[in-house]
Chains A and B, each alone.
Chain A
Amino acid sequence: MIPPPKFVGDLTDLPTHAFGHRSLTWWGVVAFFMIEGAAFAMAFAAYFFLITGEQSWPPAPYRPPDLLAGTLFTLIMLASEIPNTRLKRAAEKKDLRSVRIGLLIMTAVCIPLFVLRGFEFASLNVWWTDNAYGSIMWALLFLHLTHFATDFVDTVVLACLVNTRHAAEDRRMVDVAENAMYWRFVWLLWLPIYFMLYWIPRL
């Protein structure tokens, strides 16, 4: 038999949303960080494993990738954290007007990044079919592209969503804040990749 209930407390007055680690969404996003982080960690391991099979990195006669596109990409990524932080704070303050503008800025920031990413592929100076070095260089750049494109789509969807009636619900602000957190992960992960693609071949 199920023992009869004894009422010891009431939950009616609890809030229905919160930011950061108090919310379920945050934990879902962090779990996806761990998954993606693990995948990138393994790709990094593969990169260093393949270095051990070469006399030089890049193997002769290949030249290291050209610096310009990747460096510009990195600088814009780093600079994007300023509007990103403002967006996250606006979401936490539930300042809908600033959130709308912030999401448009973050969407706009991605356009030159996509163009530069195209130039990055062109400036690798090796094809993925040439050798294992070329394969892992393309793989790292491609994996980060999918990572970055995922967040771009999420940002565009949120930019549309905050202009509908659903924006009235405060939970949408939690979504915007978590998306801003995801963007930090996107550029943080890029820094070691930038180093591995452009600078380790120059060491």
Chain B
Amino acid sequence: MSVMSGKELPRDGRDLEGTELHERLEKTWGTPPGLWAWISTVDHKRISKRYIVTALIFMLLGGILSLVMRVQLATPESGLITPDRYNQLFTMHGTTMMFLFAVPVMEAMAVFLVPLMIGTRAISFPRLNAFSYWIYLAGGVLLWVAFILNIGPDAGWFAYVPLSGPEYSPGKRTDIWAQMVTFTEVAALAVSVELVATILKQRAPGMTLSRMPLFVWVSLVTSFMVIFSMPSVALTSGFLLSDRLVGTQFFNPYEHGDALLWQHLFWFFGHPEVYIIFLPGVGFVSHIVETFCRRSVLFYPAMVLAVVSIGLLAFGLWVHHMFATGLPRLGYAFYTAASMAVAIPSGVQVFCWIATMWDGRPRFDTPLLYVVGFIFTFVIGGLTGVMLASVPLDLQLHDTYFVVAHFHYVLIGGAVFPLLGAFTYWFPKFTGRMMSERMGKWTFWTLFLGFQLAFAPMHWSGILGMPRRVYTYPAGLGLEQTNMLSTVGAFAFAAGLFMFLENAAVSLRRRANAGSNPWDASGLEWAVSSPPASYNFAHIPVVSSRTPLWDNRDHLPVMTGLRVDDRELLITTVMEAKPDLREPSPVPTAWPLIAAIATTAMFIASIFTPWAVVVGAVPTAAALIAWFWPKGPETPEPVIQ
């Protein structure tokens, strides 16, 4: 191979900066107008926005189902909803919120923010990112079309066998649930692979692991958690499908299968799932606290260790979901201890934030209000969690509304409040516009009070013995008052969400006014325009601290020399983030969409016949080969060999 310097190729630097550089980079990295470009784009920011909008639509749909359930439960012996429909409602609500809203929206935030926070021009494997969105969309549409056609799943979001098995759930309802799981797991796993590679290999020069922003740390940890936990549910839902379709006996006790095998494999995924949803909230809160208290988060190493230890502990306590199935005594003791142990790193985090607020100068703008709402609500949810970790109490409260109250405190308090704070905080970065602060404060208080009104009374409903997943309750058991309060609170919470969306919609219609760093924050994502250009960074930033923008107010140190006529990324070393390689980044293509369509056809057909796996593998493989087949660089790559 000929040796060429490659120096004659256009690169950013002293000779090429400012507007001219912007125009040339935009030509290389931009998504031109038009449907075809829209379909084939691999820009992580565009795909993230699609993910977020889709996840919010599913959140609204799942939320509407919860309101219908609350209307049904507002009064005893209500005849509004039939038992069969009610089974579908709570199954669809849980499935939608867990698989189609919570995990995808958190991953979508990371897909947008992580490349900006670590100073790179694109996410790794951007075509896989596009593919993951289409697959996720297909899974969500499959579930909701089935529900509208009255073949929605009805065996609960965890689809316990034998209820979900071939004997007690004939028809295709459960198969649709199980295959939807496959879709969303493929999507989530793909995003996790991208995030791990991006975080470990594409950080800006100087961003050692100990200088990584906390949201990037939680994204790394949650990505590993997805990688180790989601294969478990994909495998077990595959076992369930094969029990139902081709007559395997995994869960059939008459042929020495075991129903508890399902519970183990499901909760080995299901428990880490809770932390996969919660840990991104930890990241959001840390950034908001830092910016609005005007100082970096205290005890950074303790925060990182807490995040990592939650990630590890998450895999050691799934059995606490199974206390009521009967376990060996040692099992009870071990899983109680492990479940209680999670309170330690969670507590460390809460104290770190409080200490930061104590030592800083807090300014209670809307994002910080969500943090306060989060700490209040999450601590209550955490305490009821410690209560439920104790076996005698758990056996009493198992499958009651106390548990419903507990996990909504943890999930809405621990994940949705930080998410709404994060939406408000990064809204200017996503859109170039600020959300209304006045409306934001009204929204926060409506959501916060509505939430407490809806879910606090459920603790009492549960202690009084009201079971979950039952479509009504008799009059005269003392459940009327608490249920009515919960219903009123649920509608108040829904009104708050509506106010939030309305605030966002109104703000979007305003003129772009945010500027690159409206909150005077410290992270690299604020060193680019709002919304960011297609190429993110004109020059690759260089980092020498955890708060680069606060420490470099006059000049931002940068490195030059990436090509501008071809998509090129800087690859750095894993630990020290030293510049190592320049690697090309894939150009837009429609093959991920075509591959997703082929995969979707295969997955859906395999609900009906096992041969779909064999036949459908051919077009899927063909699309994947076409996707990976090199199309040849636009210009040759003359580099030092």
Q: Measuring CB to CB, which residues of chain A are less than 8 angstroms from any residue of chain B?
A: 1-18, 21-24, 27-28, 31-32, 34-36, 38-39, 42-43, 45-46, 49-50, 53-54, 59, 128-136, 138-139, 153, 157, 161, 165-166, 168-172
Q: Measuring CB to CB, which residues of chain B are less than 8 angstroms from any residue of chain A?
A: 1, 6-7, 11, 13-14, 17, 124-125, 189, 192-193, 196-197, 200-202, 205, 224, 227-232, 234-236, 239, 242-243, 246-250, 252, 255-258, 261, 264-265, 268, 515-517, 527-529, 538-540, 542, 549, 552-562, 569-571, 573-574, 579-584, 621, 625, 628-630, 632-633, 637, 639-641
B227 to chain A, nearest CB (A): 5
Q: A5-B556, A16-B583 are in contact. Are A23 and B571 (CB under 8 A)?
A: yes
| A28 and B264 form a contact (CB under 8 A) | no
| B257 and A12 form a contact (CB under 8 A) | no
Measured CB to CB, the nearest residue on chain B to A150 is B621
A-B contact sample (13 more), CB < 8 A, given A9-B542, A169-B633: A2-B527, A9-B560, A9-B579, A10-B561, A14-B580, A15-B582, A18-B580, A28-B125, A42-B268, A50-B261, A128-B249, A139-B250, A166-B630
Cα(A15)–Cα(B574), bound, Å: 17
Partner of B574, one of A21, A42, A128: A21
A25 to chain B, nearest CB (A): 9
| A2 and B640 form a contact (CB under 8 A) | no
**A-side contacts of B540, CB under 8 Å:** 11
Cα(A59)–Cα(B236), bound, Å: 23
Q: Which of A11, A34, A39 is packed against the most chain B CB atoms within 10 Å?
A: A11
| B227 and A15 form a contact (CB under 8 A) | no
Q: Which of A12, A28, A138, A171 is packed against the most chain B CB atoms within 10 Å?
A: A12
B595 to chain A, nearest CB (A): 14
| B559 and A11 form a contact (CB under 8 A) | yes
Measured CB to CB, the nearest residue on chain A to B516 is A2
Q: A27-B200, A42-B265, A170-B641 are in contact. Are A11 and B570 (CB under 8 A)?
A: yes
| B558 and A5 form a contact (CB under 8 A) | yes
Q: A3-B527, A10-B560 are in contact. Are A28 and B14 (CB under 8 A)?
A: no
Q: A12-B11, A157-B625 are in contact. Are A42 and B257 (CB under 8 A)?
A: no
B565 to chain A, nearest CB (A): 14
Q: A16-B583, A133-B256 are in contact. Are A35 and B1 (CB under 8 A)?
A: no
Cα(A24)–Cα(B124), bound, Å: 8
A20 to chain B, nearest CB (A): 12
**B-side contacts of A172, CB under 8 Å:** 630
B576 to chain A, nearest CB (A): 13
Q: A6-B556, A35-B231, A53-B256 are in contact. Are A46 and B261 (CB under 8 A)?
A: yes
| B124 and A11 form a contact (CB under 8 A) | no
Q: A10-B560, A128-B246, A134-B249 are in contact. Are A3 and B555 (CB under 8 A)?
A: yes
| B556 and A16 form a contact (CB under 8 A) | no
**A-side contacts of B265, CB under 8 Å:** 42, 45-46
B603 to chain A, nearest CB (A): 14
Which 8 A-B residue pairs are closest in the complex by CB-CB distance?
A39-B231, A6-B555, A11-B561, A12-B561, A135-B248, A132-B257, A38-B231, A31-B193
**A-side contacts of B581, CB under 8 Å:** 14-18, 22-23
